[in-house]
Each structure stands twice: as structure tokens, then as C-alpha cells.
Amino acid sequence: MIISRKIQQFIKLRSFIRATVIVLAALMLLLGCARSKMTIGVMVPLSGDAAAYGTSVQKGVQLAMETLNVKNVEVVFEDSVCDPKQANNAATKLITIDNVVAIIGELCSSATLAAAPIAEANGVVLLSPASTSPDITDAGDFIFRDVPSDAKQGVFAANLVYNDGNTSVAILFPNEDYGKGFSGVMDEAFTSLGGTTILESFNRGETDVRSQLTKIKRANPDAIFLISNSPDAASAAIRQIKELALTAKLYGSEGLKSDAIAQTPGAEGLIISSVSAGTPDFMARHEQKFGEVPGPFSAQGYDAFESIARAIEAGAKDANGIKNELYTLSFEGVSGTIDYDENGDISGGYELFIVQNGQFVPY
């Protein structure tokens, strides 16, 4: 009887241990799944004078998430206001609190360059879909972008203006990393072609550039090239060019490509160089989902998310793995060929548009 009771106790104990092991195994499995989920941060201006660009990129990322349907990946959006200090804070929050493995952003070069040292020091990928300052090339091993550098765009713009028959150009640019980088490269390239330049700068977001335009009018250049990533500032400059009756041929950077700019008084005939707006299929899917054509850098936002998604699907388990995979990637994205070089840059290309009857059409 005593032996029987001991056997029963042993059987109960064995059953309890077995159940405990099963429960612990299930918990470990659940914890493992939780740990395998990766978070990607998206740090773009969702308020301020560049909010239209940030919203455009946000939509591109959202469309990529829906289309690619990557498992165990979540996205956290932060408003970095196209401002260096805000970008610094947003990057710190995403890395230390949200534990992201990668950040898509920022759009403005000054903000990206402010966040780059934080991402680099923490070993987190920072991939910009819009920042073009040449300085980003040397910002660090974890710093990437899927738009070409202004080291290329400035040369392209110089050739565009000069080959259109203009031997003198006034370059009007914002006094920040983006504007200084672009204008510096364009100035050097245009003068090397045999042309002459006049450089005038304005503070970011400034909406009264009559003083600069008055100086430009006195110099009487053949052309004006407006560099801006602030729709308000660009619209104001175009209106004031018309008000002051400047007759120079008007050109601009990709940041001017929007319906609001095209419909600004004085914009008729404006020619811009721009990165790709996306493939016809991408544009159709974007319009179906959001009821509008893609805005500036939406296609680049899509490709930034796809780049990180492809790195994860290739086996990357952490930020360092994502970085290593990005350097080996090569695919045809919706914005063109994505093939990061040893500096995290892509070669890219440009499209030309002209404003006709209040809208941008291919030039």
C-alpha cells in the first residue's frame, strides 16, 4: 500500500515536471518571437515648412509596408521638423526608447547630418530618402541614402543651364548644408564650362528675398537657378521674381516639384531637375491608395523601406547585420536602381520637368 502510494506520487510529480517543461518551452518560444520582431524608425518633418515632403515620404513607406508585407517588422514615426536639434532628439528617442534597428530619414541635409553621429555611435542604420549634401558621403559606415549626392546634381544642373544657351546664372539658395553644398558644386561646374555666376543666399524658410533679387536684377544674368526645400520660401521667391519683373530664364531644384509651386504666379516656364517620381506601376498604386499622385521623395521613401526589408529577409538579425546587407544590395526599385557604394551612396539619375499651364510636364 505504501509502495503504491509512492508510485502514485512519483507519477504525479513526473506529470507536473512534464507540464512545467512544456509551459517553459512555450514561454521561451513566445519570448523568442518577441525578440525577433524588429522596429524601424521613420524620422521626417510632419510639421513645419517641409511637412509636405515628410508626408510624401511617409506615404511611400506606408505603401511599401502594405505591398511587401514583411513579417515581424513594425514602424515608428517621429516628427523631426527638418530641424537639426529636433532630428537629434528624434534619433535619440528612436534608438534609446524604441530600440530601432534602422531609421529612415531625415529629409533635410542639416537634420540628417545632425542625427548621423548619434546613429553611427550607436551602430544603427540611418537611411535618408532625400538628403543630398555632399558631406553625407563621409558621415559614417551606418549612414546611407537612396538619392544621388549634390556632387552629381550640381554638375547636372550646371550643364542643363549652360547647354540651354545661358552663359551667366544667379544661384539663389538657402544658407544651410543642402543649399551650400548644391550651390557650391553648381558654381564650380558652371564656371568650369566658361560661364559666370552670382551667388545669393537666404535663411531657411525666409519669404522675403527682394533684397537678394534686386542685386540679381542689377547683375542681369541670363538665368536664375532657385534651390529650395521649403515650399513657402520657393513660392515667395517665384512671386517676387515676377513682381520685380526679372526676365531671366528660371530653373530650380527637385524640392520645387509640387502642384503648389506650379500654380504660383510667375512659375510658368520654370524648369526643374528632379529625382525620379517613381515607376508607372508605383504611381498607379500610390494614386489608388491615397487618391493622389506621389509627392516629392515618396518613391525614395518606398525604396528606403524596401532596402531595409530586403536586408532583413536576407538574414540580418540586428542593425549591424542590416548595415552589412545594405552594402551588398542591388535591385530595381520604384525610383530606379538601388546599389549602395562603399560610402552608402547611389549613383541615381535625374528627370526634367517644365511648368506649362500651371502643371509640371516632362521637359
Whether 46 shows a pLDDT value over 70: the answer reads: yes
Whether 23 shows a pLDDT value over 80: the answer reads: no
> Can you give the pLDDT at residue 18?
57
Identify the CATH assignment for 151-274 out of 1.10.3720.10, 1.10.260.40, 3.40.50.300, 3.40.50.2300: 3.40.50.2300
Which strand (E) or helix (H) includes residue 201? strand 196-202
Q: Where in the chain is the domain with CATH 3.40.50.2300?
A: 38-148+278-338, 151-274
> Can you give the pLDDT at residue 201?
97
Total-model pTM: 0.85
Which strand (E) or helix (H) includes residue 295? none
- Summarised one tens digit per residue, pLDDT across range 220-239 is 999 999 999 899 999 999 99
- Summarised one tens digit per residue, pLDDT across range 279-325 is 999 999 999 999 999 999 999 999 999 999 999 999 999 999 999 99
> Can you give the pLDDT at residue 164?
97
* Average pLDDT over the chain, rounded to an integer: 92
- Summarised one tens digit per residue, pLDDT across range 172-197 is 999 999 999 999 999 999 999 999 99
Whether 33 shows a pLDDT value over 80: the answer reads: no
DSSP secondary structure letters along 13-62: HHHHHHHHHHHHHHHHHHHHHHHH-EEEEEEE-SSSTTHHHHHHHHHHHH
* Rounded-to-5 percentages of helix, strand, coil across the chain: 50, 20, 30
Kindly report which listed range (4-18, 131-145, 271-285) carries the lowest average pLDDT score: 4-18
- Summarised one tens digit per residue, pLDDT across range 239-259 is 999 999 999 999 999 999 989
> Can you give the pLDDT at residue 303?
98
The set of cell numbers assigned to 181 is 553644398
CATH class of the region 38-148+278-338: alpha beta
Q: Quick one: average pLDDT of 105-129?
A: 98
Q: 143 falls in which pLDDT band (50, 70, 90)?
A: very high
> Can you give the pLDDT at residue 170?
98
